Amino acid sequence: MKDLKNFLADLSEKEQSESGVQYKNALLQKEILAYCIRNEKVTIAELSQYTNTSVPKVNDVVSELLDYNLITDLGKEIIGVGRKPNFYGLNAEAGYFMSVEVHRHHVNLALINFKEEIVVLNENVPFQLQNTKTCFEELCSLIDSFLNAQHQYVPKIAGLGLTITGRVNHKTGYSYSFFNFHEEPLSKILEKRFGMPTYVENDTRAMAFGEYAKGCVGDEKNVLFLNLNEGIGMGIIIGGDLYSGKSGFAGEFGHLAIFNNEIICHCGKKGCLETEASGAAIVQQLHQAIRKGTSTILTEQECIDDIQVGHIVDAALKDDSLCIELLSAAGEKIGKGIALMLNLFNPELVIIGGELSRAGSLILLPILSSINKHSLNLVNTDTEFKFSRLGTKAGVIGVSLLLRNELLGID
């Protein structure tokens, strides 16, 4: 039975063909698939109008896509009077995408079907991210174990999408912050290792795209996504497109030099937003407060050295005064940085995501208060603020969609 992998192989041949007819047919197939991706169910008449192509030609292409099992016949529905048209939609089981989301202390692994639905999700798999070959081999072992457990899906997995913190150029597949000890790009190394096309992207940009495509975004086309985690990242959507910058490094929000301090950031500079307002900075501030004798419920529950930002958020939600104060102070500083972004981009929507977003109003209220102090009133009243709807799933969904679009050559 044909599936997505067969289609992609044939599509590549058509696009490289010297025959203009085959090339045009490939373009039409992609255009129709793109429309089906954006719309749950479609008719031949809709597709004909959208592609400005004759009904008989669209019929032929739809038949081809049915033959590849990429779309399915949903049957007829009554619309007004007259003949009942057939509706078509994506076939969820046409193919699958594997997503790997690498965090500093854990990994999330997922299998996403062709209709953008999570089939399998393994969250918070223990992992310590380091830029070493041993750590890279450990990551590959985790991927192998996941694939072995999903052996029934493996023949139909069309590609692997990996997100990782730091500087990533998705166009070349290079990761410049981690696993950068190979001459070849990380995407090629993984492609050879697992025998499937691989797409590598920065974690925050993948989260931003996931939220834009499947999360809390409505009709907005200009959106900023904030990943408030151990570090602070930003995903930028401009005119409905994910913005990466010339080299893929856009969105380094945490490295805005807005403080006059002597704290050296992990980037090597001083005064970065991350030095005082990131999850990692909050953990350090907690340690300092505990050493000075400030009480917190966390010393009763956790070894001090094991405390992570998630523990601080949990304690704050249980009314721990110290943790609430730390989150409030961080929110005020983050808000100052966001105010700069509002003045620059004037976005329709700002989405708050990442581990710190779980604190809800404890982090949002100081952010909004600071924005009111530091941004232009005409600008900040134009912008809506929302929390991420996808939460911890934003990254695995986002990178699978980016991978799918890359494989199909669609926007």
Tens digits of residue pLDDT in 74-107: 988 766 555 678 899 999 999 999 999 999 899 9
Give me the phi and psi of 228, to 5 degrees please: -95, 95
CA 303 to chain centre: 32
pTM beyond 0.75, yes or no: yes
* Mean predicted confidence (pLDDT) in 260-280: 90
End-to-end CA distance of the chain: 28
| CA–centroid distance for 337 within its chain | 22
Residue 381 has pLDDT above 90, yes or no: no
Around 254, how many Cα atoms within 13 Å sit in the side-chain half-sphere? 28
Here the tokens at position 92 are 């969820």
Q: Which of 289, 361, 369, 298 is nearest to 326 (CA)?
A: 289
Q: Which of 23-27, 111-115, 159-163 has the lowest mean pLDDT?
A: 23-27
Q: Are 387 and 362 in contact (CB under 8 A)?
A: no
Instruction: For residue 121, give both structure tokens.
Output: 């999700």
pLDDT of 178 > 90? The answer is yes
Give helix 4-16 / helix 394-408 axis angle, nearest 10°. Answer: 40
Q: Which two structure tokens, joined as six digits, stand for 102?
A: 């690498």
- 3-class DSSP state for residue 385? strand
CA distance 241 to 239: 6
Nearest one of 325, 234, 317, 231 to 279, comparing CA atoms: 231
Q: What is residue 18's predicted lDDT score, i.e. its pLDDT?
A: 64
What token pair was written down for 26? 């490939």
User: How far, in Å, CA of 54 to CA of 297, rounded?
Assistant: 69
Q: Are 279 and 309 in contact (CB under 8 A)?
A: yes
- Alpha-carbon Rg of the chain, whole angstroms? 23
Q: Which domains does the chain have, with CATH numbers?
A: 4-93 (1.10.10.10), 95-208+395-408 (3.30.420.40), 219-388 (3.30.420.40)
pLDDT digit string (tens) for 63-72?
Answer: 999 999 999 9
CA 227 to chain centre: 10
Residue pLDDT, tens place only, 281-338: 999 999 999 999 999 999 887 788 888 999 999 999 999 999 999 999 999 999 999 9
pLDDT tens digit string along 214-247?
999 999 999 999 999 999 999 999 999 999 988 8
